[in-house]
Amino acid sequence: MRFKANPIEPNSYEAFFAEAPFLSYIEYEYDATPEEIWPVISGPRMWSWLPTVWGCRYPEGEEVGPGTVRDFQMFLHHWLIFAQHERILHWEKGSHLVYTAVDATLPVFGSWCERYAIEPIDGGTRTRLRWTLAVKPRYIGWLPAKWFAVALNPILRFGLRALVRELPSRRGPSYARG
């Protein structure tokens, strides 16, 4: 069973990032090229370097771009699987990805939007990744989401750091910001 989300429109995600009750921003610099990082954050194994995440399934035979809907899945507990359909709002191959949740197996996520932006540094031998997660929860809007974001940021930072497991060279990050 999936619960309909309140998806963000392509022309309003910047405003949503500015006003969402829950906002996490993490920046990392990796000793890897943008060409190594991009397939990890935009491909079917996205976040699958974490033990419970299965990754994303893209529609077969379609070119990925704005409007593409993919299926993200992760195992939460022996009887609970979290999944959400994600519609791509912005796609610049090799540098930018923004998507919003269309529906999910948990009803609490009213609106969900993520942005991944990568840029070459040090002459293209290294990469800076900027990740933004914005959520407007449903039913639990009374919770202090900004404080929750502060508590959750170290866990999210750890998760993002671990993407080096998917790199062919397996080089680690230099340092984290944010």
pLDDT tens, the chain, 178 aa long: 889 999 999 999 999 999 998 899 999 999 999 999 999 999 998 888 888 888 899 999 989 999 999 999 988 877 788 899 999 999 999 999 999 999 999 887 789 999 999 999 999 999 999 999 999 987 665 565 666 677 778 888 888 888 888 887 765 555 555 5
What is residue 150's predicted lDDT score, i.e. its pLDDT? 74
Q: Which helix (H) or strand (E) holds 155?
A: helix 145-161
Name the pTM for this structure. 0.88
What is residue 100's predicted lDDT score, i.e. its pLDDT? 98
To 5 degrees, how large is the angle CA 83–CA 165–CA 111? Answer: 30
What is residue 109's predicted lDDT score, i.e. its pLDDT? 79
CA distance linking residue 58 with residue 45, whole number of Å = 11
What is residue 154's predicted lDDT score, i.e. its pLDDT? 84
To 5 degrees, how large is the angle CA 49–CA 65–CA 95? Answer: 60
73: buried, middle or exposed (CB in 10 Å: 19+, 13-18, 0-12)?
Answer: middle
User: How many other CB atoms are there within 10 angstroms of residue 144's CB atom?
Assistant: 11
Domains of the chain: 3-177 (3.30.530.20)
Under a CB-based contact definition with an 8 Å cutoff, are residues 51 and 66 in contact?
A: no
User: How many other CB atoms are there within 10 angstroms of residue 104's CB atom?
Assistant: 21
What is residue 145's predicted lDDT score, i.e. its pLDDT? 60
What's the DSSP call for residue 124? G
What is residue 162's predicted lDDT score, i.e. its pLDDT? 86
CA distance linking residue 142 with residue 127, whole number of Å = 38
